[in-house]
Amino acid sequence: MKLIAILFLCSRLLTSFAQEDQPQEVDCNDEDVFKAVDAALKKYNNGRKSGNQFVLYRITEVIKTGDPDIFYSVKYEMKEGNCPAQSGKTWQDCDYKEAEQATTGECMATIAKKWDMKFSVTTQTCNITPAKGPVVTSQYDCYGCLHTISTVPPDFDPVLRHAIEHFNNHTNHSHLFALKEVERAQREVVSGSNYEVTYLIQQTNCSKENFTFLTQDCKALSYGDTGECTDHAYMDPQLRIASFSQKCQILSGKDSFRGCFGCPEEVLVDSTDLKEALNHSITKLNAENNATFYFKIDIVHRASSQWVSGYKYLIEFTARETTCSKESNKELTESCEINKHGEMLRCTAEDYYRAGKKNRIETTVKCQSPGKKQLKPCVYKGRLREAGAQPTPKSEAS
C-alpha cells in the first residue's frame, strides 16, 4: 500500500487527564492518535457519493481524556486526492491533486475507543474550502452544458442566501433553518447562469415567533430537524435571480436522534454553539473569584449538551490567570494575555437556556487548582504512517 510523505504537525499540546485530573504530556507519536484520525477520515470519505476522496494533510489538535470512556477530540486538515470516492481504495492509496485544483477541508471529530480496541466516530463536522483555481467561462467546452463548480463564483452566494430565505418563508416549521453544508453544485452558462445545487440545512434555536430572519444569535441545534434540499435557480446577466425552484426533504430530529432523548450529547470543543456559554462561564468565574487578576479560558477539554425543558451545556475547561488586574481593568478583554506562570484552575460549568429564547437562565461554575505544572508543547515532523504502524523513534522528532 502506497504511503505519502507529508508534514505531520502537532501544532498544539496533546493532553490527557489522569484520574487525578492532572494534565500530563502525551507523546506526539501516540499510535492511537493515528488510528482515531484514520477512522474519522475514512468515515468522511465513505459518506461521499461523488467527487474524489480526501487525503490527510496534518493533525493540528488532539485532546484525550483518561476516564473509563476514553475518547479523542481531534482537529485535522485534509486535501482532495486523485482517487474517486467510490473507487474502493483507502485514502492511503491516493496522491494529492495539484494544489490549485485541490479542494481542502478542516474537520473536528470526537472518536471513542471501544472495549474491543476499535475506534468509533461519534461526531464529526468538516468545513470545506473549494480549490483556488477560478472558473473561467471561456474554458467551457459548450454553452448550455452543466459544469461542476469547483470554486464558488462571486454570484453564487446570493443563490444560497435566497435558497435559505425561501425555505424559511415558505414552510410552516416553527423554527428557522440555516445552511449546514453544500454537497454539490453545477453551473450552466447561458445568457446569464443556471444553477443546480444540493445542500444540507439544520434547525436553529431561533423560533419564527421571535425571529423574522436569521441573525448571529441563531445557532444550529444538534438535536433539531435536518433536511436536504435541491434547488434550481436562474441568474440573469444583471446578477438577479429571475427564477427559482426548491425541493426539500426534512428529517425529524427525533427520527435522527441516536441514543435517548434528553441524554447528554457530545459537542465539539471549538463549536460556535459554545462561545456564548463559555463567555458566561468565565464571567461567572471572575465575578465569584476573589483573585487579584482576571482568569481566561485556556483549553476547553470536553463539552456536552442536554435537553431538559430547555437547553443545558456542560463544559470542562482549564482557566489561567491573566496579566490584567481587576483593580486596573473593569472587565476581561481580548487584550488580556495569559500569564504562563500564574495560577491554573480546572473547572466544570453548567449554562442553562430556555428553549428558543435568547435569555440565559442560570450559570454555575466550580473550579479547583490542580497545581502549576508547566507543560512543553511537542512538534513532530516525519512520514505519515498507516494507522497501526510502529511509532517513529523519538530521535526523528523535533
Model confidence band, residue 226 (pLDDT cutoffs 50, 70, 90): confident
Q: Which of left, alpha, beta for 243 (phi over 0: left; psi -120 to 50: alpha)?
A: beta
Q: Which long-range contacts (CB under 8 A, 24 or more apart) does 217-221 make?
A: 217/358, 218/176, 218/178, 219/272, 219/273, 220/178, 220/180, 220/273, 221/253, 221/311
Single-letter code of the amino acid located at 375? L
130 Cβ contact list (under 8 Å, min separation 6): 103, 149, 150, 151, 152
- Within this chain, do residues 384 and 316 fall inside the same structural domain, yes or no? no
Number of separate domains in the chain? 3
- Within this chain, do residues 185 and 223 fall inside the same structural domain, yes or no? yes
- Within this chain, do residues 250 and 141 fall inside the same structural domain, yes or no? yes
CA dihedral 179, 254, 45, 79 (to 10 degrees): 30
Angstrom distance (rounded) from CA 301 to CA 347: 10
Check whether 281 has a pLDDT greater than 60: yes
Mean residue pLDDT of the chain comes to: 76
Helix, coil or strand: residue 167? helix
Lowest mean pLDDT among 75-84, 130-139, 376-385: 376-385
Top pLDDT among 254 and 166 is at 166
Residue 251 confidence (pLDDT) = 79
Q: 96, 75, 4: which is closest to 33 by C-alpha?
A: 75
Residue 181 inside a domain? The answer is yes
238 Cβ contact list (under 8 Å, min separation 6): none
- Within this chain, do residues 124 and 142 fall inside the same structural domain, yes or no? no
Check whether 88 has a pLDDT greater than 70: yes
| DSSP label of 186 | E
Residue 297 confidence (pLDDT) = 92
- Within this chain, do residues 20 and 96 fall inside the same structural domain, yes or no? yes
Give all strands of the β-sheet with 71-84 in edge-to-edge order.
Answer: 23-25, 15-17, 52-64, 71-84, 104-113, 119-129
Residue 34 inside a domain? The answer is yes
Model confidence band, residue 308 (pLDDT cutoffs 50, 70, 90): low
H or E stretch covering 78: strand 71-84
pLDDT in tens, 327-374: 888 889 888 999 988 899 999 998 887 654 445 568 899 998 875 443
Angstrom distance (rounded) from CA 248 to CA 227: 7
Give the residue from 210, 225, 256 where a domain finishes.
Answer: 256
Decide: 74 and 111 in contact? Cβ < 8 Å: yes
Give the residue from 210, 228, 256 where a domain finishes.
Answer: 256
* Rounded average pLDDT over 2-31: 45
Angstrom distance (rounded) from CA 17 to CA 371: 13
Model confidence band, residue 42 (pLDDT cutoffs 50, 70, 90): very high
Top pLDDT among 296 and 18 is at 296
pLDDT above 70 covers a percentage of the chain that reads: 73
Residue 322 confidence (pLDDT) = 94
Which residue shows C-alpha cell 485544483?
101
Residue 29 inside a domain? The answer is yes
Lowest mean pLDDT among 7-16, 157-166, 219-228, 229-238: 7-16
Residue 3 inside a domain? The answer is no
Residue 4 inside a domain? The answer is no
Residue 6 inside a domain? The answer is no
pLDDT in tens, 134-152: 444 434 445 556 677 755 5
Check whether 182 has a pLDDT greater than 80: yes
Single-letter code of the amino acid located at 396? E
* Rounded average pLDDT over 375-398: 38
Domain that holds residue 161: 137-256
Residue 119 inside a domain? The answer is yes
- Within this chain, do residues 19 and 119 fall inside the same structural domain, yes or no? yes
* Rounded average pLDDT over 49-55: 87
CA angle, 268 then 269 then 275, to 5°: 110
- Within this chain, do residues 234 and 292 fall inside the same structural domain, yes or no? no
* Rounded average pLDDT over 278-286: 91
Model confidence band, residue 14 (pLDDT cutoffs 50, 70, 90): very low
Give the residue from 230, 256, 282 where a domain finishes.
Answer: 256
- Within this chain, do residues 43 and 93 fall inside the same structural domain, yes or no? yes
Model confidence band, residue 36 (pLDDT cutoffs 50, 70, 90): confident
Residue 335 phi, psi (nearest 5): -75, -10
* Rounded average pLDDT over 196-218: 87
Helix/strand/coil (H, E, C) string of 220-277?
A: ECCCCCEEEEEEEEEECCCCCEEEEEEEEEEECHHHHCCCCCCCCEECCCCCHHHHHH
Residue 135 confidence (pLDDT) = 40
- Within this chain, do residues 279 and 174 fall inside the same structural domain, yes or no? no
- Within this chain, do residues 23 and 127 fall inside the same structural domain, yes or no? yes
Residue 263 phi, psi (nearest 5): -85, 150
Model confidence band, residue 286 (pLDDT cutoffs 50, 70, 90): very high
Residue 324 sits in a domain whose CATH number is: 3.10.450.10
Residue 8 inside a domain? The answer is no
The C-alpha cell of 378 is what?
511537542
For 229, other C-beta atoms within 10 Å of its C-beta total 21
Residue 99 phi, psi (nearest 5): -55, -40
Residue 381 confidence (pLDDT) = 33
- Within this chain, do residues 210 and 192 fall inside the same structural domain, yes or no? yes
Residue 9 confidence (pLDDT) = 43
Angstrom distance (rounded) from CA 159 to CA 232: 9
Residue 294 confidence (pLDDT) = 94
Angstrom distance (rounded) from CA 382 to CA 398: 9
Handedness of CA 288, 293, 298, 301 (dihedral sign): negative
Residue 138's Cβ-count burial label (10 Å; 0-12, 13-18, 19+) is exposed
- Within this chain, do residues 219 and 281 fall inside the same structural domain, yes or no? no
